[in-house]
């Protein structure tokens, strides 16, 4: 009998082969010490059914396109595997141990409470990729929860993972979305009204799911042996460019200089990620240290959101409404704070912590220069190279732009997209505002004084374009390459959720198709590139979300 396609995946489980595991194999919530992971199998589900998949990710991991998903038997087996009912040959499932700061407070042990990795494969490209099932059952790190996931949050994770990739933002990927056939009880609003909902499992894919908290947990316990093992594993397997031939071929401990260089690499990747989030108006919503990837990927899609009307103080996370720690305008600062916590965790490995401080001190300048270069690109202005400061005139334009965007409820995505259509020599305030009319939620807010202030900025912007002799056509094309037309607004996800919960998952696939080309004009889907409708302003799931969303 021929092997099923999924049994042909080439597993190479380096994380579990090279790091110490938990000797206790019980999937019982408990404290786990001296281990980087715990062995645990996914929970069986009653009736797995494939709702959606990403063909690009399937091809990336090596699934034969001629066998799947057009072959019914292969598709059924796929659903069994990626719901957690069947382990493919070579898989070695486990849940990772890590800790973290949650909303600024040390939370101790956290870990993969509802995610179980099937293992690590070698893709056809030679890249090592971890396949992880989110919502696949109880682990030692589930605390008081059940380790399961509901359909609504799974749809949001599946779609956003792929949307971010196609926007060009570093991210984990999503292979599949499988309905389990079981009900999961959730209290969506934490208001004492739990109800049963459809259960689902998402298969997430990434080179690694190691996050800042993996290093924080052993450091907090004084387990420097495990901490060093984790650090050296991460460097050797995921940052080999930092090693010369001698270090690659030995099992000796890595010198402090390499550890510091690796930390700086994490600082740089994180700064880049924050700039990219800001470029597209993405707000993560729960930037705890256990939710920041050591590889600089967007990870753990929970109560996220895109800016609709521009508001630096906006957070999509209802749990964060009190302090708004993770609001849009503070994401860069929080990332810096999180990196400092990572540096503190690494400090015991070095006799001199000055190299760590030096690496951390790179962040503010990187974030500032990256933000200025990003805004120059969004405005169609010359983008300075990494070692050249932005022109002072452009810097002033950028500063005034943030203020102008708060004068009235202004859609972040549509404003920049429409700004590309503004000719450098178009005259008259009414004509200028007409180009941007679609970006304003409440035109009545553009009273005489507000309209004049907005127009002042537009005039200054046009004058800058004229001074630089920027060609309108070339500028429009350049701006469209960095300012998306389509983003995964929360209300679009909610529409897909509503339909799927009623038995029609087709909008998931339709949204995925559109989001594959977020920078392109797609006339058949212009309705999905408009402002958030008024009915979605306060409807649950369409603007803000809880951590249970």
- Specify the pairing of strand 173-186 against strand 37-39: unpaired
Residue 384 pLDDT: 82
262 versus 246: the higher-pLDDT residue is 262
- Are 93 and 42 contacting, i.e. CB atoms less than 8 angstroms apart? yes
pTM over 0.85: yes
Helix (H) or strand (E) holding 100: strand 99-102
Residue 549 pLDDT: 45
Rg (CA), the chain: 24
5 versus 315: the higher-pLDDT residue is 315
First to last CA, the chain: 44
Residue 70 pLDDT: 64
Q: For the purposes of burial, counting CB atoms within 10 Å of the CB of 361, is it exposed (0-12), middle (13-18) or buried (19 or more)?
A: exposed
pLDDT bin (cut points 50, 70, 90) of residue 548 is: low
Average pLDDT over residues 210-217: 98
Average pLDDT over residues 33-62: 96
Among residues 276, 167, 164, 278, which one has the least CA distance to residue 519? 167
pLDDT-wise least confident of 38-42, 148-152, 245-249, 311-315: 245-249
- Specify the pairing of strand 99-102 against strand 94-96: unpaired
Residue 69 pLDDT: 57
Tell me the C-alpha to C-alpha distance, in Å, between residue 482 and each of 75, 278, 279, 280, 458: 37, 12, 8, 8, 20
d(CA 40, CA 110): 16
d(CA 416, CA 475): 12
Residues with a catalytic annotation lie at 290
Average pLDDT in the chain: 94
Partners of 117 in the β-ladder = 94, 132
d(CA 325, CA 314): 10
Other CB atoms within a 10 A radius of the CB of residue 445 amount to: 13
What would the DSSP string read from start to end of 411-462? BHHHHHHHHTT--TT--SHHHHHHHHGGGBS-GGG--HHHHHHHHHHHHHHH
Secondary structure, 3-state, 287-354: CCHHHCECCCCECCCCCCEECCECCCCCCCEHHHCCCCCCCHHHHHHHHHHHHHHHHHHHHHHCCCCH
pLDDT bin (cut points 50, 70, 90) of residue 2 is: low
């Amino acid at each position: 009998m021929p092997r099923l396609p999924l049994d042909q995946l080439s597993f190479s489980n380096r994380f579990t082969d090279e790091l110490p595991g938990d000797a206790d194999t019980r999937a019982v919530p408990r404290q786990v010490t001296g281990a980087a992971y715990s062995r645990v199998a996914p929970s069986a589900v009653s009736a797995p059914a494939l709702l959606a998949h990403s063909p690009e990710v399937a091809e990336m991991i090596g699934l034969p396109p001629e066998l799947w998903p057009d072959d019914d038997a292969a598709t059924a087996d796929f659903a069994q595997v990626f719901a957690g009912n069947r382990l493919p040959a070579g898989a070695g499932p486990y849940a990772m141990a890590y800790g973290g700061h949650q909303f600024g407070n040390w939370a101790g042990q956290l870990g993969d409470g509802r995610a179980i990795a099937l293992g690590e494969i070698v893709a056809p490209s030679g890249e090592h990729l971890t396949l992880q099932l989110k919502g696949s059952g109880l682990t030692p790190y589930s605390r008081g929860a059940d380790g399961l996931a509901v359909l609504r949050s799974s749809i949001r994770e599946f779609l956003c993972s792929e949307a971010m990739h196609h926007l060009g933002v570093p991210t984990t990927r999503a292979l599949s979305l499988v309905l389990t056939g079981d009900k999961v009880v959730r209290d969506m609003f934490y208001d004492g009204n739990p109800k049963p909902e459809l259960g689902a499992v998402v298969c997430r894919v990434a080179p690694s799911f190691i996050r800042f908290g993996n290093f924080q947990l052993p450091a907090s316990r004084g387990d420097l042996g495990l901490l060093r093992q984790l650090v050296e594993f991460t460097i050797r397997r995921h940052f080999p460019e930092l090693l010369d031939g001698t270090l690659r071929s030995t099992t000796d401990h890595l010198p402090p200089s390499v550890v510091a260089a690796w930390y700086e690499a994490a600082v740089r990747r994180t700064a880049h990620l924050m700039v990219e989030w800001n470029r597209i108006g993405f707000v993560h919503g729960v930037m705890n240290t256990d939710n920041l990837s050591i590889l600089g990927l967007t990870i753990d899609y929970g109560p996220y959101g895109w800016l609709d009307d521009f508001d630096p103080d906006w957070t999509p996370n209802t749990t964060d409404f009190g302090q708004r720690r993770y609001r849009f305008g503070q994401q860069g600062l929080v990332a810096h704070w999180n990196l400092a916590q990572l540096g503190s965790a690494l400090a015991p490995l070095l006799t001199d912590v000055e190299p760590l401080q030096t690496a951390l001190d790179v962040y503010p300048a990187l974030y500032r220069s990256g933000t200025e270069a990003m805004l120059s690109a969004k405005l169609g202005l010359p983008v300075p190279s990494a070692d050249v400061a932005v022109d002072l005139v452009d810097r002033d334009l950028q500063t005034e732009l943030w203020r102008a965007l708060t004068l009235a409820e202004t859609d972040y995505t549509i404003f920049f997209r429409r700004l590309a259509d503004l000719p450098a020599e178009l005259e008259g305030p009414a004509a200028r505002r007409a180009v941007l009319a679609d970006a304003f939620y409440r035109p009545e807010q553009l009273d005489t004084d507000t309209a004049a202030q907005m127009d002042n900025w537009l005039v200054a912007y046009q004058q800058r374009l004229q001074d630089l002799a920027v060609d309108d056509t070339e500028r429009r094309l350049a701006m469209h390459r960095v300012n998306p037309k389509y983003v995964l607004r929360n209300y679009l996800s909610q529409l897909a959720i509503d339909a799927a919960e009623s038995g029609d998952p087709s909008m998931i696939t339709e949204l995925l198709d559109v989001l594959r080309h977020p920078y392109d004009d797609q006339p058949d889907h212009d309705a999905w590139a408009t402002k958030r409708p008024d009915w979605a302003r306060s409807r649950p799931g369409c603007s803000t979300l809880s951590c249970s969303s």
